[in-house]
Amino acid sequence: MYDRILIPVDGSNEATRAARRGLDLARRFDAAVEVLHVIDRRSSTRTSDEQAQLRERGEEIVAEIERLAADHDQSVTTTVTDGSPAARIARLAADYDAGLIIIGRQGITGLGKRLLGGVTEEVLHRSDVPVLVIPTGDRSTGDSFDYDRLLVPTDGSENATRAAPHAGAVARQYGSSVHALSVIDLQSAGGAFSAGGLEGSFVDRLEDDAGETVDELATEIDAVADVDVETAVQKTSLDGVAAEIRDYIAAHGIDLVVMGSHGRSNLRRQLLGSVSGAVLRSVDVPVLIVTRS
């Protein structure tokens, strides 16, 4: 599934950790790797000497990743360019025919631990290529990683279902177990009529529908990876869907989340769907976002 992988780096520790995970995944999939550094075009007003220094620094950044790959007899190609980072990343991913982009949640310009870096979120908005986001809280060391337990949240939407083959492909390569989860948002489902509580029969229908949804997702994942998929249906009314997903991750020791960028109720003008965006901002495990074309 991932014949070509693009790894943008900016010299930050987080980007280097993301690159390590990316190189490991590339080895598992026998994928070609392109390492990219973009000199922000806002630096174009600097002097020619400063520009040369930025170019030299960019070459050093990609060379560091090249050395990491060489330690495992893995070849990579590198590119140093300038422009708008997110636009360049999305463009090169398309030109390179990448099957996956791997990037840190925030780089050297990130504003805070629980926020997405501006470049990362814009890449998610621009790219038609799935994006694996490595969190700030990732403290893994070394160059080999395991994804023993995968979680695939779903609301039954077409975009959520697109995550299934990606989860299956990763599970097959890493020997992972897979969890399929549907969270029923009772407050959203009931709307204004939920103020006095929802009728039991209505909640039962929601649970039945959610059960069918995770069963269908499990079938699709199993078709790719030939693995048993554990299914679960949770209900939430106050904390929200993302909080339930976060709690499930902690309770079941999930190593990787694979999910669609938008659910059935999200608007196209949003950079990310409300659930996927909240999950990305609040969990300390990698999240593979399957973007909506």
Per-residue pLDDT, 16:
92
Per DSSP, the three-state class of 150 is strand
User: Which overall architecture, per CATH, does domain 149-290 show?
Assistant: 3-Layer(aba) Sandwich (3.40)
Q: CB of 19 within 8 A of CB of 10? A: no
Tokens of 60: 């050093």
Q: Read off the pTM.
A: 0.89
Domain ranges of the chain: 4-134, 149-290
Which has more pLDDT, 273 or 100? Answer: 100
Per-residue pLDDT, 72:
87
Each residue of 129-144: pLDDT tens digit?
999 999 876 667 666 7
The CATH classification of domain 4-134, taken from the options 3.40.50.620, 3.30.210.10, 3.40.50.300, 3.40.50.1370: 3.40.50.620
Q: CB of 288 within 8 A of CB of 258? A: yes
Contacts of 5 (CB under 8 A, 6+ apart): 22, 25, 26, 29, 31, 32, 33, 34, 98, 99, 100, 101, 102
pLDDT band at 236 (very low <50, low <70, confident <90, very high): confident
Each residue of 87-107: pLDDT tens digit?
999 999 999 999 999 999 875
